[in-house]
C-alpha cells in the first residue's frame, strides 16, 4: 500500500539553480539493480493538508541549499525564517527557535540533549566557525567559537551524539576534541610525508560519526599518477576514534561530494554535474558496518546517483529523479544487495512550465515513511509524505 500526502506551500522562490589500500579483511562487490521490486507501481493517493498553526515551509530560501534535516523520533528540522521542529506524522510544528545567520552550507547534528548547528561567520579578516547548541525546545543554550576553542580554523567538522566531542579536519590533519575535558587528540597527520602511512590519503573534505560514535567516516582525496602526471582522485573511508584502524579506498566517483551515515551503514554518492562538465557514473557506494563489506551498486538511471538518501538505520536507500516536468520518481533500493525494493512517483499538477531544481528527502524506517521537499524555479515548493 502506498500513500502520499501533499502539502502545497504558498511560497515564491527565485533560485538558480595508486592511492588506496586493498583490504584483506573486507569483501567488495558490485551489484546492478536487476530483478523486480516486490510491489508493482501504483499511483499514490493525495490530499490537501491544512497546517495546525505555523507553516514552517513559508520562509524557505532554496538558494541557500538544503533546508530539511533529520531530528530523530519522526521529526525534522526545517530551516526557514526561523528554525522549526516539525512532527511529520502529526503534520505540525512542535517547537521553533531563532535561526543563526551562518553562511551556507551549515551542518546540523542531533544530540542527546537537542541539536547542534555548525556554521561560519565571516569578518573582514577571518572566517569564524561556531557551534550553536539548542535544547529539544529549540532554545539556544550555548554558542561556542570553535576557532578559539580548537586553536585553529577547522575546514570540516562532525559532532558526536553526546554533543561533547568534535572531529575536525584541517590541511595538516584530522583531530578529535573533547569540549568537556578540553583535550585534543591527533588521529591523522596529513601531508606528503605521511601519504604512505595514510594509505594514500592527502586531504579530507567531509566527516561523519557512526557506529555509536566509535568511528568516523570521511570523503578524501589522493594523488594518482596518470600518464606521468599526478591527478587528484576522490577517496572514501573510515577511521576509528582512537586512530588505530583506518580504511581509505579509491571512489571512482568523479564528483564524490555526498555522504550519509547511520550507525549501521554509510553511503557515498556524487553531486550534481554542472552543464557541459560530464555525467554522473550512476553508482552508489555503501559500507556495511556489521560485515565490513563495501558494496558498489549500479542504479536504474545514472542521474539518480546525484540524489541519494539513506533510509533511517540504512537498510534501504532512496533516490529521486525528475522524469520530466510533470513528475519525480522515487526509488528505494536494498543497501546490501542493490536490488530495487519499491518505486513511487509524484506528479506536480499545474507545474509543467516551471523548471524543477532539486528534491531533499528525510526518511523514517520505523514507520516506513519519507518526507520530500521539491523546489522549482519561480514557484512554490511541494512537500510530499509517502508510505512505502
pLDDT tens for 153-177 read 999 999 999 999 999 999 999 999 9
Look up cell 528540522; give the residue.
77
Q: Cα angle at 172 between 169 and 174, to 5 degrees?
A: 35
Q: Strand order of the sheet with strand 183-189?
A: 156-159, 165-169, 173-178, 183-189
Per residue, the 3-state secondary structure of 198-242, as one string, reads CCCCCEEEEEEEECCCCEEEEEEEEEEEECCEEEEEEEEEEEECC
3-state secondary structure of 89: coil
Cell of 282: 550512476
Strands across the sheet containing 127-135: 103-111, 114-122, 127-135, 140-145
Give yes or no for residue 233 having a pLDDT over 50.
yes
Joined grid coordinates for residue 293: 563489506
Average pLDDT estimate for 184-200: 93
How many whole angstroms separate alpha carbon 301 and alpha carbon 280? 10
pLDDT tops 60 at residue 313: yes
Quick: pLDDT tens for 49-82. 456 677 888 777 776 778 899 998 899 999 998 9
pTM for this entry = 0.88
**Are 3 and 43 contacting, i.e. CB atoms less than 8 angstroms apart?**
no
Sheet-wide strand order for 283-288: 28-31, 293-298, 283-288, 265-270, 256-261
Which has the closest alpha carbon to 288: 297, 276, 278?
297
Over the stretch 268-306, which tens digit does the pLDDT of each residue have? Answer: 999 988 878 889 999 999 999 999 999 999 999 999 999
More confident residue, 369 or 10: 369
Average pLDDT over residues 113-128: 92
What total of structural domains would you count in the chain?
1
- 9 falls in which pLDDT band (50, 70, 90)? very low
- Domain with 313, as residue range(s), is 3-387
Place of cell 528534491: 359
- The answer to whether 111 and 60 have CB atoms below 8 angstroms apart is no
What CATH code is carried by the domain that includes residue 328? 2.130.10.10
- H or E, element range at 149: helix 146-150
CB atoms within 10 A of CB 178: 14
Q: Given this model, what pLDDT does residue 22 score? A: 37
The answer to whether 386 and 379 are in contact (CB under 8 A) is no
Amino acid at each position: 500500500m502506498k500513500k502520499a500526502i501533499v502539502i502545497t506551500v504558498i511560497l515564491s522562490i527565485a533560485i538558480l539553480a595508486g592511492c588506496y589500500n586493498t583490504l584483506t579483511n573486507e569483501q567488495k562487490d558490485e551489484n546492478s539493480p536487476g530483478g523486480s521490486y516486490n510491489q508493482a507501481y501504483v499511483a499514490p493517493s493525495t490530499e490537501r493538508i491544512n497546517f495546525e498553526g505555523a507553516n514552517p515551509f513559508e520562509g524557505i530560501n532554496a538558494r541557500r541549499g538544503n533546508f530539511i534535516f533529520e531530528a530523530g523520533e519522526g521529526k525534522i528540522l526545517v530551516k526557514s525564517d526561523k528554525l522549526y521542529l516539525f512532527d511529520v506524522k502529526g503534520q505540525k510544528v512542535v517547537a521553533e527557535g531563532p535561526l543563526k545567520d551562518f553562511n551556507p552550507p551549515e551542518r546540523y547534528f542531533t544530540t542527546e540533549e537537542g541539536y547542534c548547528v555548525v556554521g561560519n561567520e565571516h569578518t573582514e579578516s577571518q572566517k569564524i566557525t561556531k557551534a550553536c547548541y539548542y535544547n529539544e525546545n529549540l532554545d539556544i543554550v550555548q554558542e561556542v567559537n570553535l576557532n578559539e576553542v580548537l586553536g585553529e580554523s577547522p575546514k570540516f567538522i562532525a559532532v558526536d551524539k553526546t554533543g561533547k566531542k568534535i572531529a575536525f579536519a584541517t590541511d595538516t590533519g584530522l583531530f578529535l576534541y573533547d569540549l568537556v575535558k578540553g583535550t585534543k587528540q591527533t588521529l591523522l597527520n596529513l601531508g606528503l610525508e605521511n601519504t604512505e602511512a595514510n594509505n594514500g590519503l592527502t586531504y579530507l573534505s567531509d566527516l561523519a560519526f557512526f557506529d555509536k560514535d566509535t568511528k568516523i567516516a570521511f570523503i578524501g582525496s589522493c594523488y594518482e599518477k596518470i600518464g606521468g602526471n599526478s591527478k587528484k582522485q576522490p577517496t572514501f573511508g573510515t577511521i576509528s576514534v582512537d586512530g588505530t584502524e583506518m580504511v581509505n579506498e579509491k571512489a571512482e566517483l568523479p564528483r564524490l561530494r555526498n555522504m550519509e551515515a547511520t550507525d549501521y551503514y554509510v553511503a557515498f554518492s556524487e553531486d550534481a554535474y554542472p552543464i557541459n562538465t560530464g555525467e554522473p557514473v550512476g553508482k552508489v557506494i555503501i559500507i556495511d558496518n556489521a560485515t565490513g563489506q563495501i558494496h558498489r551498486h549500479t542504479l536504474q538511471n545514472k542521474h539518480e546517483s546525484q540524489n541519494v538518501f539513506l533510509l533511517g538505520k540504512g537498510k534501504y536507500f532512496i533516490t529521486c529523479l525528475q522524469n520530466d516536468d510533470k513528475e519525480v520518481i522515487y526509488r528505494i533500493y536494498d543497501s546490501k544487495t542493490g536490488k530495487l525494493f519499491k518505486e513511487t512517483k509524484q506528479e506536480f499538477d499545474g507545474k509543467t512550465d516551471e523548471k524543477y531544481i532539486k528534491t531533499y528527502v528525510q526518511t523514517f524506517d520505523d514507520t516506513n515513511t519519507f518526507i520530500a521537499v521539491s523546489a522549482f524555479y519561480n514557484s512554490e515548493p511541494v512537500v510530499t509524505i509517502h508510505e512505502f
